Chains A and B, each alone.
Chain A
Amino acid sequence: MIEGILIGLGTALTPVNIMFVFTGCLIGTFIGMLPGLGPMSAIALMIPVAASLEPATGIILMAAVYYGAIFGGSTSSILINAPGVASTVATSFDGYPLAKQGKAGKALAIAAYSSFSGGVIAAIFLLVAAPFLAAVSLSFHSADYFALMVLGLTAVAAFAGKGDVLKALLMTVIGLMLSTVGTDQTQGVPRFTLGLIDLTDGISFLLLVMATFALSEALIAILKPSGDDKRQEEMEASTKLGSMKVTGGEVKEMVPVIGRSSILGFIIGVLPGAGATIASFLAYGTEQRLAGPEKGKLFGKGSIRGLSAPETANNAAATGSFVPLLTLGIPGSGTTAIMLGALIGYGIQPGPRLYIDQPAVFWSVIVSMWIGNIVLLILNLPLIPYIAKILAIPSRFLLPLILFFSLIGVYFVSFNTFDIQLMVLFGLIAVVLRFLDFPMAPMILGFILGGMMEENLRRALLINNDSWSFLWQRPLTLTILVIAGFCLFAPILWSNFQRLRKGADRAGEGG
């Protein structure tokens, strides 16, 4: 492991890579700060740039953008109560009240220290867990991988909101369907190309991500009536950041919260489909319960614990979500799904052999997480008052620019104008589906995993002489599929259980 860390340090600490970590953190913070644009859009916008770099440098850049975007989202949550992404919603519960009390500087500093600690602690866990899990998963067969992918996709349902389980599953299937467009990998037969040569290679992953996130976000912002005036007023109200000093007493209050939330965030992050949003809300709820009645009352009114917990947890979860990606090659979240697509674009297949075949990429990603967190702390915190000015850029300039960067990002990869037209079509479909409250992240997850899932299933059948018996004869495959089944039906069982309990309570009260 020491050798690996040294390889990682050697790669991540080259002047070029350090520069990209700095740049990535800064760009990520900028993009993450824009309400509506989250880490997924930020990473998607970076793919065309990363594609022209060395694999390790490109992944380092995207990881830095990821962290920067999460931090940027927290900043807009605290300053103008406009969370850029769902994972920073819990941050606004206590961050914005603190800013309204004239303590925006303190709130930002607490958020930065908590994010830093959560990220660093989780990176240590990752350092230990990833090689161990990778070593274990070396014994996995195609059948197990197929089952793992089924688990990854069904886990999305387990963590979908109430009433969204079916929609999340349906969008996953739509993503899987889109992944089948193009020439079949094994038999060389065209599928769903509609006779168009431009579709022979399938739908570009970048095109789909850009259209469903960056492009549709900008189009939805155009659809909504302008909020510039309100944003301007809020910006003026929060221009006085106040002191960024955190007192000794406040640090004492934060330390145990950071410890607990880091562990919780990391574990939630490792689970496929869960992600930073659930981690941040769970950490917030846990701390509220642990705070006791007196301090618990402060939650929602500017509590330091209430701000520190979700900030720590969402960063720890972001780090944790790299575990299944790096060790099993299965993304645990939409963001890591995009990272997986980028890695495949480099010709790198993440999985148990990644740390053997590409140690520089594997370890430099882990080491760059530390560096990224340090950069966020020493570079972004002092720059926050200046970076925050981006929130004052009028949307009439910002939105066409986002559209331009999305379109040109895709065009620069293929130089095919058909891709721009296809992107506009997907952008329109994404707007309609988002307008109808259908989630996009499961579709991306399905699209990314579709090809691999089909390949592993085909291989497993070949090995088993065209017999499907491997699904129940191989204990590991069966166990994973049973867990997947549990993930699929757990939300339904849970809601039925709660309904029964409520009924029993009512009967008890009546009797």
Chain B
Amino acid sequence: MLFSKDRIGGILLLAFCITYGILSQNITLLPIQAKAAFTARTMPEVLMVLGIGLSLLVLIFPGSHDRPQLAGFNWGKAVLFLVLMSAYGLTIRPFGFLISTSLFLILGFAMLGERSVTKLLLVSVPLVVCFWLLMTQGLDVFIEPLPWFLKG
């Protein structure tokens, strides 16, 4: 099988190893290290050779010939969750912990099929408030609760 799981993975990791190898040449070396047996580049260069070698071996001798099955999976939902997580990362500071986390959970529950607004609010908001209280009061980890426009 030309495009088996192992081969696709092998190609992806080969590309990663080649990029890693190219970037390893950008590591600055001090003049006094020119003849040293071990420099900041040594390990990356050894790893590049090993990585490219092993990726090629995976491509040439794949362990399995299974093709990846793409049908029957909720790809759209998974992508939406990746976007949601990224958006959470961007909003946690400006919107504060309480609003951003509550929104993250409400949207997450709704995306997975919860339709009752009461349940969405009753599960997320108290949980977020309790968690914030536990972190700030119990473990002394402070995190800004409110959005920028409500800060004192």
Contacts and interface: CB of A to CB of B under 8 A. Distances in A.
Interface of A: 49, 52, 162-167, 169-170, 173-174, 176-177, 180, 184, 186-187, 189-192, 194, 219, 222-226, 395-397, 399-401, 403-404, 407-408, 411-412, 415, 417, 420-421, 423-424, 427-428, 431-433, 435-438, 450, 454, 457-458, 461-462, 466-468
Given A399-B112, A432-B12, A167 B89 contact: no
Contact of A404 (B5, B55, B105): B105
Contacts of A165: 63
Given A170-B51, A408-B101, A420-B85, A396 B114 contact: yes
B143 A466 contact: no
Interface of B: 5-6, 8-10, 12-13, 16-17, 20, 23-24, 27-30, 33, 36-40, 43-44, 47-48, 50-51, 54-55, 57-58, 61-64, 66, 68, 72-75, 77-78, 81-82, 85-86, 88-90, 92-93, 101, 104-105, 108-109, 111-114, 123, 127, 135, 139-141, 143
Interface SS of chain A: helix
Contacts of A428: 82
Given A184-B40, A222-B77, A424 B54 contact: no
B135 A424 contact: no
A230 B113 CA distance: 16
Given A166-B54, A173-B54, A433-B9, A180 B43 contact: yes
B5 A436 contact: yes
Given A187-B33, A412-B141, A412-B143, A403 B81 contact: yes
A166 B58 contact: yes
14 contacts: A49-B139, A52-B140, A173-B47, A177-B17, A177-B20, A189-B28, A191-B24, A219-B82, A222-B74, A397-B112, A399-B108, A400-B112, A457-B43, A458-B38
A420 B9 contact: no
Contacts of B13: 170, 174, 438
A397 B109 contact: yes
A468 B37 contact: yes
Contact of A417 (B8, B73, B93, B114): B93
Contacts of B43: 176, 180, 450, 454, 457
Given A166-B61, A174-B51, 14 more contacts: A163-B62, A167-B58, A173-B50, A173-B54, A187-B39, A187-B40, A219-B78, A223-B73, A404-B105, A420-B92, A427-B85, A428-B82, A437-B9, A437-B64
Given A167-B6, A222-B74, A404-B105, A466 B112 contact: no
A436 B68 contact: yes
A468 B68 CA distance: 44
